[in-house]
Amino acid sequence: MIRLLSPREAQAMREAGRAAASTLAWVGSQLRSGMSTAHIDRLVREDTKRRGGTPSQLGYHGFPAAVCTSRNEVVCHGIPHPQEKLGEGDIINIDVTTKLNGYHGDTSQTFVIGGASPDAEHVVRVAREARDLGVRAVKPGARLGDIGAVIQEFAEREGCSVVRDLGGHGIGRDMHQEPHVPHFGRSGTGLRLKAGMAITIEPMVNLGSAAVRQLEDGWTIVTADGRLSAQFEHTVLVTDSGHEVTTRAP
Ligand code: MF3
Ligand code: CO
Ligand code: CO
């Protein structure tokens, strides 16, 4: 069952989205070579609290941290660790999800630490543009396959691949709810969007093959070939006239 948001719930989504986006922007501005991913987790906890929210990811199915920190070949769901330090040339996705007044905002960006290689710059740019193309396809009457198709076609045209084993999701009172939102597919297929739905668009784009595997910790997803992966995420409301991004950077 896909829940539709009332106008007052949509307003709560805007507020949660703004909080998540503000935390992500502030934490992003603090990143330095030498900083540990555990320190990033601390910053996210503090800033989320300052904004009156709680970190939605902390304890989610037992997830042990407030934020996912996914560096280089880590695709998503990386667990912050005191021994994991940012280095020059690394790329790192920071995925912030904030619960505020009962609703969630979910957003991520991949940051480049210092000067990155052309390969790193490429995969980061393709992931960002793929996300933005997907967002622009959101409107009432559009189908999930339309969104997946624009993302997949763009990423593959740029010589990258799109992860298939994980996708975006409905969001609202729960961080993860129906529907599942694939980042690949064929236009004209799949669920039809309606005003009042809220979904995330969060393509994971790999420099090499799309295959991924999970580490023994039960969370961390890495590329099977060990090559770089990047991701960007927005929470998007379907409106009568098109869409509204709740997690636009302040
Ligand atoms: N924010 C992540 C997403 O985009 C959720 C990760 S679940 C966690 O869907 F438990 F790993 F945090
Ligand atoms: Co998400
Ligand atoms: Co997220």
Contacts by residues 186-190 (CB-CB < 8 Å, ≥ 24 positions apart): 186/145, 186/148, 186/149, 187/143, 187/145, 187/146, 187/149, 187/150, 188/143, 188/145, 188/146, 189/143, 189/144, 189/145, 190/143, 190/144, 190/145, 190/146, 190/148
Ligand 1 probe mutation, 54, 63, 109, 110, most atoms within 8 A of CB = 63
Interval 128-173: pLDDT, tens? 999 999 999 999 999 999 999 999 999 999 999 999 999 999 999 9
Residue nearest atom 12 in ligand 1 by C-alpha distance: 57
Class assignment of domain 7-245? alpha beta
pLDDT at position 112 is: 98
Q: How far apart are CA 138 and CA 132, in angstroms?
A: 10
Interval 8-41: pLDDT, tens? 999 999 999 999 999 999 999 999 999 999 999 9
Q: Taking residues 177-203, what's their average pLDDT? A: 98
Atom of ligand 1 nearest to the CA of 57: 12
Binding-site residues, ligand 1, Cβ < 6 A? 57, 60-61, 63, 68, 77, 95, 97, 106, 200, 202, 219, 233
Range list of H helices, the chain? 7-30, 37-50, 118-136, 144-157
Q: Taking residues 40-64, what's their average pLDDT? A: 98
Residue nearest atom 11 in ligand 1 by C-alpha distance: 77
Query: Would you call 173 helix, strand, or coil by DSSP?
Result: coil
Q: In this structure, what DSSP letter does residue 158 have? A: T
Residue 127 has pLDDT above 90, yes or no: yes
Query: Taking the C-alpha atoms of 166, 172, 173 and 177 in order, what is their torsion angle to the nearest 10 degrees?
Result: -30
pLDDT at position 250 is: 85
CB contact set of 131 (below 8 Å; sequence gap of 6+): 151, 201, 202, 203, 231, 232, 233, 234
Residue percentage of the chain with pLDDT more than 90? 98
Amino acid at position 112, single letter = V
